[in-house]
Structure 1
Amino acid sequence: MKKGLFIFCFTMFIAFASKAQDNTSLPAKYQEKMTSIFNKIPEVTSSAATSLIDFAKSMLGKPYVYASSNPDRGFDCSGFVSYVFSNFGFKVPRSSREFAGAGTPVKLADAKVGDVLIFTGTNPRVRKIGHVGIIYSIENGEIKFIHSTSGKAHGVTVTEFNDYYKSRFMKAVSIVE
């Protein structure tokens, strides 16, 4: 019953919102407020990605443990990514190499928060997949991603998509549609 009521209310809100977007008939003092509200509507549609990132953030500092997807022990890169997505019911691969065939490929310029970045291993000249992470934020065109690294941080951390990672970048895929 509650679910049905929620769906009804949400449907009514969307119907109202689509008709009310032309707010020129409103008094001037309300036009700005309505525009502000409608500009926030896309934020609601990205709530799945927001929840996913919030959950991933709760794992910050967990140690890097090779071949592990156990939050009590720690994670390797693909163990972390698969654990995060599996928590939300997404069926994703367990190994970084298999992520190349998962989800929907996206151009890096079109990638969004919650998409998976796929990299080579630590040597960028060896063009074989060996690392994955989840886009954490995109601000002013600058991407940060959350991942479990065996490098300096040696665990779950947020890293800038810097020149080193750009040299290792292979592709991006969208799991959350």
Structure 2
Amino acid sequence: MNSLIVVLSSMLYCLPGSGRSAESYAQRLPSSDTTAVNVQQSTPNHSVINPAELITYAQSFKGVPYKYASADPEKGFDCSGFVLYVFKHFNVNVPRSSSAFAKIGKRVTLDEAQPGDIILFTGPKSGTTRAVGHVGIVTEGGTTISFIHATSGKAYSVIETAMTPHYRKRFVKIVRVLS
């Protein structure tokens, strides 16, 4: 994965790889006072992942359209494809299907939820079955749970959502995969 490092008036900004090429960013930059350098992303030490970095990276995809069976920001994401793509960026292996998330990680209660945990819900049309059909990443824990996810609902994109009564009814569990 590539990152783009941009120097503007002696300030350094790094735009994490988003599937877009460095050249596409560089073409949009003013030519005076700007230097763009395409750099291979180093393999970080993943023994400890900063959840805030994971959340910031996930939030950089807000507005990417929903696309069934996709884990590609250029085409769109489905819910599990989005979670997979974000965690893969940090070299954390997670399943590709939402139902498989029920079998990984350490289960934690809603009260114990922390940013970076994975929140599991039933699918939107699951009826009486409690099978996992939707996943997201917790962005805020405690008494005001919120999460980021790729939704096929009204927004039809990657959005951040509070734990509304609609989602509370569909809630299955939270799993922690980060140590």
Question: TM-score, normalised to structure 2's length?
Answer: 0.70
CA-CA distance at 1:126 after TM superposition: 2.7
Query: Match for residue 104 of structure 1?
Result: 106
State the structure with more CA Rg: 1
Query: How many positions carry a matched residue from both structures?
Result: 131
Q: C-alpha separation between the residues in 1 aligned to 2:49 and 2:97?
A: 26
Query: Match for residue 130 of structure 1?
Result: 133
Are the equivalent residues in 2 in contact too, given 1:118–1:132 (CA < 8 A)?
yes
Query: Match for residue 88 of structure 1?
Result: 90
CA deviation profile, 1:48-68 (whole Å, cap 9, x unmatched): 100000000100000000000
Are the equivalent residues in 2 in contact too, given 1:64–1:150 (CA < 8 A)?
yes
Q: C-alpha separation between the residues in 2 aligned to 1:158 and 1:125?
A: 26
Q: C-alpha separation between the residues in 2 aligned to 1:143 and 1:60?
A: 18
Question: TM-score, normalised to structure 1's length?
Answer: 0.71
Query: Match for residue 56 of structure 1?
Result: 58
Q: C-alpha separation between the residues in 2 aligned to 1:158 and 1:104?
A: 23
Larger fraction in strand: 2
Superposition pairs of residues 18-167 of structure 1, within 5 angstroms: 48-123=50-125, 125-138=128-141, 141-167=143-169
Larger fraction in helix: 1
CA-CA distance at 1:137 after TM superposition: 1.5
Q: Quick one: percent identity of the two aligned structures?
A: 47
Q: C-alpha separation between the residues in 1 aligned to 2:115 and 2:103?
A: 19
Are the equivalent residues in 2 in contact too, given 1:48–1:176 (CA < 8 A)?
no
